[in-house]
Amino acid sequence: MDLVFDGKTYSVELEPQAVSGEIKAKVNEESFSQSVIRISDNTILFLSSDKIQKTYVASDNGKVIAHIDGKVVAFDKVIEGQKSFSREALEYGSKDQVSTPMPGKVVKILVKEGDHVTLKQPLVIVESMKMENELKSPSNGVIKSIHFAAGDLVGTGQPIIRIEPEE
Amino acid sequence: MFTKILIANRGEIAIRVIKACRELGIKSVAVYSTVDRNALHVQEADEAVWIGEAPAQESYLNIEAIIGAIKKTGANAVHPGYGFLAENHLFAERCEKEGIVFIGPDSRSMKLVSDKVASRQVTEKVGIPLIPGMKNKSTDVGECMAAAEQIGFPVLLKASAGGGGKGMRIIKSRDELASAVEAGMREAKSAFGDPSVYLEKYIEQPRHVEFQVLADKYGNAIHVFERECSIQRRHQKIVEESPSPALNEDLRRRMGETALKVVEVSGYSNAGTVEFLVDKKGHFYFLEVNARLQVEHPVTELVTGIDLVHAQFRIAAGEKLWIKQDDLKQRGHAIECRIYAEDPENGFLPSAGNILFMKEPTGPGIRHDCGIYSGYEVPVYYDPILSKLIAWAPTREHAIKRMAAALLDFPLLGIKTNIEFLREIMTHPEFANGNTFTDFIPRNLPDWTPARSEELLSQAALAAAIASDKPKRGAFAGKAELLSPWETLGDWHIGSGKG
């Protein structure tokens, strides 16, 4: 199974051995051999000689989330024949456009087409959950196009501004 | 006492009030918007009334719909929680006209204390220390510019009708002023319906210390000690504690007396909070009165043993204050962490979505005031607060350890939260030392993002793969999946004599 976190793929091969609760696995060619107790759908224990590692997991279409030692890692599941679709659908965090990670209302566009902008320069203000948030430029570049105006409602991942990045 | 109370709010605070009703044998009525049909407060209440569509203006801020729900259900009092209509004096006034008890101050004193400018004028007269600032609220950039020049930069911009940091901005120089005032006015208008702002001198590295007060309708008042709420992100409190590590007995006594004087001159009754800034030399300045139950009220409850919601009910029902100042003591230490649906990796932008799995923290001295559950869909329309985790222990050091441990074992999966960030604060040496100033986060944790070692990621990937693997009975199952006797014993009938 291929899992993607922060652009990096983790290929996991599981070789379950019946009855004992021992599993052998490979994560990106690194071998693991651990005792596992599946407590419930959401709780897994990893046992080693000196440590019990309690891990919580949850999954939703295309996403698997694990919680270890208070840290949360949300993976995108790569299904065969499909690219990592959830990332592609969002296109959030790309260098050539600005979008909002959640629905909101465009309050103010701070730039116009053709403007030269610098990395982290505020480009647009979007209001979500009663808070105004400045969305900042992901790169140095020129504003190529603006797709929304003040007062417009904007959905998750919809490009608000496109940028022509320059080095 | 009341027989039925309607709670004009949602989320964890509505549930907090519903539980108080249940303890006192009072029927509770929840109100909900269309997206909140499945919300936890609806499940917990005795009755629930739909009040409108998802946007708050059409539901939780809709005075007509809420008054209608009160009349329809025959509730004799309304608890407003915090936010929404809690400090809307027009709502309080309307309740008074309709003969409904508003559990909070009367509309006249609420109007006075909610208006920061008017309350400054009243308190200044009786010698309560104030931060230098504008005498009047404004919606004019030019007027703000002139005032800022007179006060001297840096200045702090605040929404006149506001609270909770909405619309608030630090303005360091004249160049920043115009755009900051415009943005502040827009945010104030959207959050409170009133764009008026005002400016005051910005005090660097202060602490935010507030006093909880309880006042009855007959002029008797006590303070229930302080809470320190200096740990803030963009002027939004995220960690609160009591007692404050910065107060000694003398300062606590003087601030408490000042808080009671503020209550007296404003004719305030019911539970309220008097906010102060304390500078590094121990000078304190009165900021404002919050005319409501505060988000952070549980820390006071845990160190004093007073149930503030019960107290609100009793005062609203006309009881004379039953506690004397001298009978009150602070016992141990309590800390609250606010759990928000927000994404620390993306500038703490609010996050919404489906909670796939949650396990609530428990343990000695742990309280979790919670508005969510596994399977709940967090809507985008409201404040991103999900719950509040509160830890009590005999000492501050111990309370910090309890809180850190509780945050560690608190999976809340499916949406982004600030839980890991809060644990970073709890384990920070400057927090342990009590160096809690309002610039704690920009100073100590600027641009914080969660660290993920390769080892952790591999282990997480392994867990994720195991979880996604279709469980086959017996295959890598481990002890917990061994069959129980009930599944293997066969055809037994308990108590069956027929054979």
- If you average pLDDT over residues A31-43, what whole number do you get? 90
Which alpha helices (DSSP H) does B307-438 contain, by range?
308-316, 396-408, 419-426, 429-432
Write down the pLDDT at residue A99.
84
Is 50 exceeded by the pLDDT of residue A87?
no
- Identity of the residue in B472, B475, B480 whose CB atom sits nearest the CB atom of A39: B480
| Strongest mean pLDDT among A58-72, B181-195, B289-303, B461-475 | B289-303
Quick check: helix, strand or coil at residue B314? helix
DSSP code for A73: E
Interface contact B352, partner A, CB < 8 A: yes
Stretch (H or E) spanning B80: none
User: Which residue would you say has higher pLDDT here, A78 or B260?
Assistant: B260
Is 80 exceeded by the pLDDT of residue B79?
yes
- Which pLDDT band holds residue B324 (cuts at 50, 70, 90)? very high
Angle, helices B419-426/B396-408, rounded to nearest 10 degrees: 150
- Same domain for A10 and A57, yes or no, is yes
Q: What is the DSSP string of B116-153?
A: HHHHHHHHHHTT--B--B-SS-B--HHHHHHHHHHH-S
Stretch (H or E) spanning B166: none
Contact: A36, B466; criterion CB under 8 Å: yes
- Give the global pTM: 0.81
Is 90 exceeded by the pLDDT of residue B371?
yes
- Same domain for A50 and A114, yes or no, is no
Which of B149, B144, B168 is closest to B158 using CA atoms? B168
CA A160 to the chain's CA centroid: 19
Interface contact B166, partner A, CB < 8 A: yes
Relative to beta strand A63-68, strand A51-60 is: antiparallel
Residue range B132-201 in CATH 3.30.1490.20: yes
Write down the pLDDT at residue B13.
98
Is 80 exceeded by the pLDDT of residue B497?
no
Is 60 exceeded by the pLDDT of residue B29?
yes
- Identity of the residue in A8, A21, A108 whose CB atom sits nearest the CB atom of B476: A21
How does the average pLDDT of chain B come out, rounded? 92
Q: Where in chain B is the domain with CATH 3.30.470.20?
A: 207-444
Interface contact B409, partner A, CB < 8 A: yes
CA distance B175 to B177: 6
Q: Of A77, A103, A127, which one is at a domain's C-terminal end?
A: A77
- Identity of the residue in A14, A17, A73 whose CB atom sits nearest the CB atom of B452: A73
The Cα-based distances of A154 to A159, B151, B352 in angstroms read 9, 40, 15
Could you read off the pLDDT of A102-141 as tens digits, one per residue? 778 898 999 999 999 998 888 998 887 777 788 888 889 9
- Is A158 a domain residue? yes
- For A104, the closest chain B residue by CA position comes to B380
- If you average pLDDT over residues B87-94, what whole number do you get? 97
Is 70 exceeded by the pLDDT of residue A165?
yes
Q: Where in chain B is the domain with CATH 3.30.1490.20?
A: 132-201
Q: What is the DSSP string of B191-251?
A: HHS---EEEEEPPSS-EEEEEEEEE-TTS-EEEEEEEEEEEEETTEEEEEEES-TT--HHH
Contact: A101, B477; criterion CB under 8 Å: no
Could you read off the pLDDT of B217-242 as tens digits, one per residue? 999 999 999 999 999 998 899 999 99
- For B380, the closest chain A residue by CA position comes to A129
Contact: B471, A38; criterion CB under 8 Å: yes
Write down the pLDDT at residue B28.
98
- Same domain for A9 and A41, yes or no, is yes
- How close, in Å, is residue A45 to chain B by CA atoms? 9
- Is A130 a domain residue? yes
Contact: B458, A10; criterion CB under 8 Å: yes
Is 90 exceeded by the pLDDT of residue B403?
yes
Angle, helices B107-114/B116-125, rounded to nearest 10 degrees: 90
Is 90 exceeded by the pLDDT of residue B99?
yes
- Which pLDDT band holds residue A154 (cuts at 50, 70, 90)? confident
CA distance B56 to B72: 21
The CATH class for the domain spanning B4-103 reads: alpha beta
- How close, in Å, is residue B468 to chain A by CA atoms? 8
- Is A82 a domain residue? no
Contact: B463, A12; criterion CB under 8 Å: no
| The pair of three-digit structure tokens given for residue B224, joined into one six-digit string | 């229930």
Interface contact B343, partner A, CB < 8 A: yes
Quick check: helix, strand or coil at residue A11? strand
Which residues of B are tagged catalytic?
A: 292
Percent of chain B surpassing pLDDT 90: 78
- For B462, the closest chain A residue by CA position comes to A12
Identify all chain A residues contacting B411, using CB atoms and an 8 Å cutoff.
Answer: 42, 56, 58, 67, 72
Q: Where in chain B is the domain with CATH 3.40.50.20?
A: 4-103
Is 80 exceeded by the pLDDT of residue B256?
yes
Contact: A129, B456; criterion CB under 8 Å: no
Contact: B477, A19; criterion CB under 8 Å: yes
- Same domain for A23 and A66, yes or no, is yes
CA distance B375 to B356: 5
- Is A133 a domain residue? yes
Identify all chain A residues contacting B185, using CB atoms and an 8 Å cutoff.
Answer: none
- If you average pLDDT over residues B137-162, what whole number do you get? 90
Write down the pLDDT at residue B112.
93
Interface contact B423, partner A, CB < 8 A: yes
Please, what's the b/e burial string for B409-439 (b: 16 or more CB within 10 A of its CB; e: otherwise)? bbbbbbbbbbbbbbbbbbebeebeeebbbbe
Interface contact B410, partner A, CB < 8 A: yes
CA distance A13 to B465: 8
Could you read off the pLDDT of B422-456 as tens digits, one per residue? 999 999 999 999 999 999 999 999 989 888 999 99
Quick check: helix, strand or coil at residue B82? coil
Is 50 exceeded by the pLDDT of residue B485?
no
DSSP code for B175: H
- Same domain for A95 and A73, yes or no, is no
Identify all chain B residues contacting A136, using CB atoms and an 8 Å cutoff.
Answer: 347
- Same domain for A52 and A23, yes or no, is yes
- Which pLDDT band holds residue B469 (cuts at 50, 70, 90)? confident
Q: Of A77, A104, A131, which one is at a domain's C-terminal end?
A: A77
Stretch (H or E) spanning A99: strand A97-99
- How close, in Å, is residue B360 to chain A by CA atoms? 13
- Same domain for A10 and A63, yes or no, is yes
Write down the pLDDT at residue A91.
40
- Is A93 a domain residue? yes
Write down the pLDDT at residue B439.
93
Write down the pLDDT at residue B431.
98
Contact: A55, B463; criterion CB under 8 Å: yes
ipTM of the complex model: 0.82
Which of A136, A134, A133 is closest to A118 using CA atoms? A136
How does the average pLDDT of chain A come out, rounded? 84
Is 80 exceeded by the pLDDT of residue A84?
no
Least confident of A17-26, B27-36, B298-307, B414-423: A17-26
Contact: A21, B477; criterion CB under 8 Å: yes
Range of the domain at A103: 87-165
- If you average pLDDT over residues B107-129, what whole number do you get? 89
- Which pLDDT band holds residue A20 (cuts at 50, 70, 90)? low
- How close, in Å, is residue A13 to chain B by CA atoms? 8
Q: Of A33, A55, A77, which one is at a domain's C-terminal end?
A: A77
CB contact at 8 A, B214 and B422: no
Architecture of the domain made up of B207-444: 2-Layer Sandwich (3.30)
Is 60 exceeded by the pLDDT of residue B479?
no
- Same domain for A96 and A58, yes or no, is no
Identify all chain A residues contacting B462, using CB atoms and an 8 Å cutoff.
Answer: 12, 25, 27, 32, 34
- Identity of the residue in A38, A53, A102 whose CB atom sits nearest the CB atom of B480: A38
Is 50 exceeded by the pLDDT of residue B489?
no
| The pair of three-digit structure tokens given for residue B371, joined into one six-digit string | 């508005």
- Same domain for A105 and A47, yes or no, is no
- Same domain for A54 and A94, yes or no, is no
* CATH number for the domain harbouring residue A155: 2.40.50.100
The number of helix segments (H) and strand segments (E) in chain B equals 17, 22
Number of structural domains in chain A:
2
Contact partners, residue B225, CB within 8 Å, separation at least 6: B211, B212, B242, B243, B252, B256, B300, B303, B304, B328, B330
Contacts 24+ apart (CB under 8 A), B87-95: B87/B114, B87/B163, B87/B290, B87/B291, B87/B292, B88/B61, B88/B63, B89/B114, B90/B63, B91/B63, B91/B66, B94/B63, B94/B67, B95/B67, B95/B70
CA distance B16 to B12: 6
Could you read off the pLDDT of B16-28 as tens digits, one per residue? 999 999 999 999 9
